[in-house]
Structure 1
Amino acid sequence: MLDKIQFLLSLQIIGFCVFGGTTLLLRAGENRAKKILGWGMYSWAIMAVVRLSVNLYLHEAKEAFHPDVLIIGALVTATLACYVIEVLRPGYLTCRRFLVFISPVVVGGLAYLAYRLSGGEIHTYYSLEEVFEFFNMDVLLRMTVFVLTLFYMVLPVYLIARYSKDFKVFLAENVSDPEEYDLDWLKKTMIILIVLYGFYLVLLLTDIPVMYVIDKTVLLFAWYYFFYKALFLKVVVLDYSFKDGWDLPNQQDDVNNDDEHGILSKRYAEEVNAWFEKEKPYLREDLRLTDLQRVFPISRSYLSQLFNRELGQSFSDYVNQFRIEESKRLMDAEPNASIQEIAERSGFHSISTFRRAFQKCTGTIPSDYRNNR
């Protein structure tokens, strides 16, 4: 019975990863993160096929630390690490950087293949204890690939923990609707990857039949959630590209502290205020900081500092302040208009974002404001 359940779950994982990878690649467009994840799902499908082929029946002894599963698993973890990098730093993974990043996996895989073809001694291990009973080139190469796998597992978790906050700040200073990018997805990604990798290690090392069934059940749900969220995640479109390097733009590059510069900043702040009041650019839901550069001939970093220092808030908060005032005006003038309509006409992308922004600015939700005015 367990054999049949395991086989069916394996087929579902393989089929879903192929379907998910194909869907992501077809709908990726210019979004390289989706393309990378699509290939990552293909790689996991291949790993599942290999895992199933070497351990088809649960009642038979399970081979641990299988070299083919190890090598493909290292490729999967490297690919998923690339997905996180591309989400955090769009454009950073040039072709050269990508090849350099995965080259240790390629070299490790080729080294093991060369060892096999040269007639090197290959053992079959059924537990970790057996692995460490022998120390030869076979074990050394497997351990090298395993260490690489652990490195690629840890790296995206570190990157998300280290840089997600900075990236949120960067978005808040450059786009008018940072909440629409579901930045909590970075934290969710970290949790999902930990689950996927933890159960991958179970598949790699375990010889307990029931754990195989539990493992594959959890993997199927984890991959489904990962795919669904990644497919509908709003694409971060920024005029700034990380192609030239990892670091965020230095906000201080174009900012001086002398009196003359301060006077100039105040003048620009007044001009920005006047432009917002007259032209109402905040009604565009996709307004970005770089759109202001078409009107004001100053750099992106200078503009960002202009909002933070002279206007006392981030670009997104500044825009939402005008949107909230517009929504209040509409609710006063058109009491029969729906909250959804008010949100859209005020420049908000969704009603949930509108409610959060409204409560942040006024301390109450839109419906309560309308009822108590």
Structure 2
Amino acid sequence: MLMMRKNGGRARTLFAFVMCMVGLTNLLSLIKGLTTGYAGVVEYKFLSLPMLIYGSVYAYIFLLYPLEALRPGWLTLRRATFLFLPAAVIPGIFMLATKMQHGSLPAVDSWATLLGEFWNFHVWLRLFMLVYPVFGLLIMLRYRSNYEEWCENNYASMENIDIKWLGDYIFGNLVITLSCEIVVLSDNIRSVLMHNIIFLLFFLYGFYRVLFQKNPYPEGYFKVGLDETKAEIREVMGIGKRCQSRVGEGNMVLMPEKGSGTNCLFADKLPEYREKLEQWMLSEKPHLRKDFKLTDTMEILPLNRSYLSRLFNEGYGESFYQFVMRYRIA
């Protein structure tokens, strides 16, 4: 149902992927329960390695949706791989150490063993895997804190931008993470039942919110002009590293870095860009369009998204959203 909804964007696709993975593990648990009598993909034992790896992989999967929802277009294959490295490297180190010790690492199956072997590296590797889901939560909170400001810098309207749902998702993820930690450290089958109930309630609520959430921007919108690593003015590509200095009349300053040169040129041309933009707003009245967005200003200005945001923040002292609302109210 999620995949059949049009204009859902990558965020909705990723949430559908999360639900598919959870459904797959539940199906495997059911099959295993009917065939072996133990309904679980992995065996729920105190700090067991398979359970820690299983939890780390799913913590990573749960991280993908909010990253795409909070910063559309930010999640590239390279960044996704980088985020997955801790979940892959730490178990690899653990298995390598086990092989070097010829499989003779002491078992950690109780609090007494954990405290007794606390300073051994194999215990710390388990604890690092246990902490990985918290790392994912910190990343979500980092982008959640400035999400509203980022929206105002990119969107002309806050309609259909459901900030509350993303906060609910992060809170739900926090509750799931805490229940996972209890399952790993309690060695109690009742905690597994509690964890599964939390899972079910969270995804029922999440399915409802994502299914009926409107996507205010067309497919592929964020592929245009959003490359943060190449934030350069198209107009000056290929021009030398010189810009006019305002300190002395007629002086030319050689700029040591390409970025410094483009910044200086941008500051010099800021009044010209403002004049072009204001004339366009008065003549074409793009602010009256419901789907008016930041990158539409590329029609008249040779800037990418990063410099367009700077134009409003530095040239007008307000966000793109505030700038457009001023014209709409006038």
TM-score range normalised by the length of the shorter chain: 0.5 to 0.7
The 5 A counterparts of 1:308-327 are: 308=313, 311=316, 313-324=318-329
Of 45, 59, 66, 1:77 maps to 59
Correspondence 1:161 to 2:141: yes
For 1:54-75, what per-residue CA distance to the aligned partner results, in whole angstroms no more than 9, with x for missing partners?
A: 9948xxx963223222111110
Correspondence 1:198 to 2:178: yes
For 1:228-273, what per-residue CA distance to the aligned partner results, in whole angstroms no more than 9, with x for missing partners?
A: 3344444464333347489xxx9x9477556xx5653553354134
In structure 2, relative to structure 1, the CA distance for the partners of 1:72 and 1:214 (3 Å cut) is closer
Displacement of 1:122 in angstroms is: 7.5
Q: Distance in 2 between matches of 1:193 and 1:96?
A: 24
Listed as ranges, the gaps of 5+ residues in structure 2 are 232-258
Letter in 2 for 1:213: L
Q: What's 2:238 paired with? A: none
The 5 A counterparts of 1:198-217 are: 198-217=178-197
SS in 1 for 2:154: coil
Correspondence 1:264 to 2:272: yes
Which deviates the most, 234-243 or 79-88? 234-243
Correspondence 1:91 to 2:73: yes
Say if 2:53 and 2:129, in contact at 8 Å, map to a contact too: no
Q: What's 2:157 paired with? A: 177
Q: What's 1:128 paired with? A: 111
Letter in 1 for 2:167: K
Listed as ranges, the gaps of 5+ residues in structure 1 are 1-22, 326-373
Q: Is the helix fraction higher in 1 or 2?
A: 1
Q: What's 2:128 paired with? A: 147
In structure 2, relative to structure 1, the CA distance for the partners of 1:296 and 1:105 (3 Å cut) is closer
Q: Distance in 2 between matches of 1:26 and 1:123?
A: 50
In structure 2, relative to structure 1, the CA distance for the partners of 1:186 and 1:242 (3 Å cut) is farther
Say if 1:269 and 1:310, in contact at 8 Å, map to a contact too: no
Displacement of 1:78 in angstroms is: 1.7
Question: Between the two proteins, what is the percent identity of the paired residues?
Answer: 23
Correspondence 1:240 to 2:213: no
Displacement of 1:175 in angstroms is: 1.6
Q: What's 2:250 paired with? A: none
In structure 2, relative to structure 1, the CA distance for the partners of 1:69 and 1:47 (3 Å cut) is farther
Displacement of 1:310 in angstroms is: 5.3
The 5 A counterparts of 1:294-313 are: 294-297=299-302, 300-301=305-306, 303-308=308-313, 311=316, 313=318
Q: Distance in 1 between matches of 2:315 and 2:226?
A: 26
Q: What's 1:292 paired with? A: 297
Say if 1:293 and 1:299, in contact at 8 Å, map to a contact too: yes
For 1:261-298, what per-residue CA distance to the aligned partner results, in whole angstroms no more than 9, with x for missing partners?
A: 565355335413422xxx33233221112112213455
Q: Distance in 1 between matches of 2:122 and 2:17?
A: 25
Displacement of 1:177 in angstroms is: 1.4
SS in 2 for 1:199: helix
Q: Distance in 1 between matches of 2:62 and 2:292?
A: 31
Q: What's 2:247 paired with? A: none
The 5 A counterparts of 1:46-61 are: 49=28, 56=38
Q: Distance in 2 between matches of 1:88 and 1:245?
A: 21
Q: Distance in 1 between matches of 2:229 and 2:202?
A: 34
Say if 2:47 and 2:108, in contact at 8 Å, map to a contact too: yes
SS in 2 for 1:213: helix
Say if 2:155 and 2:321, in contact at 8 Å, map to a contact too: yes
In structure 2, relative to structure 1, the CA distance for the partners of 1:318 and 1:232 (3 Å cut) is same
Displacement of 1:194 in angstroms is: 0.4
Q: Distance in 2 between matches of 1:55 and 1:131?
A: 29
Which deviates the most, 76-85 or 44-53? 44-53
Say if 1:108 and 1:141, in contact at 8 Å, map to a contact too: no
Displacement of 1:172 in angstroms is: 1.2
Q: Distance in 2 between matches of 1:89 and 1:135?
A: 39
Q: What's 2:203 paired with? A: 223
In angstroms, what is the RMSD of aligned CA positions? 4.2
Displacement of 1:124 in angstroms is: 6.9
Say if 2:117 and 2:123, in contact at 8 Å, map to a contact too: no
Q: Distance in 2 between matches of 1:293 and 1:113?
A: 52
Q: What's 1:328 paired with? A: none
SS in 2 for 1:178: coil
Alignment size in residue pairs: 288
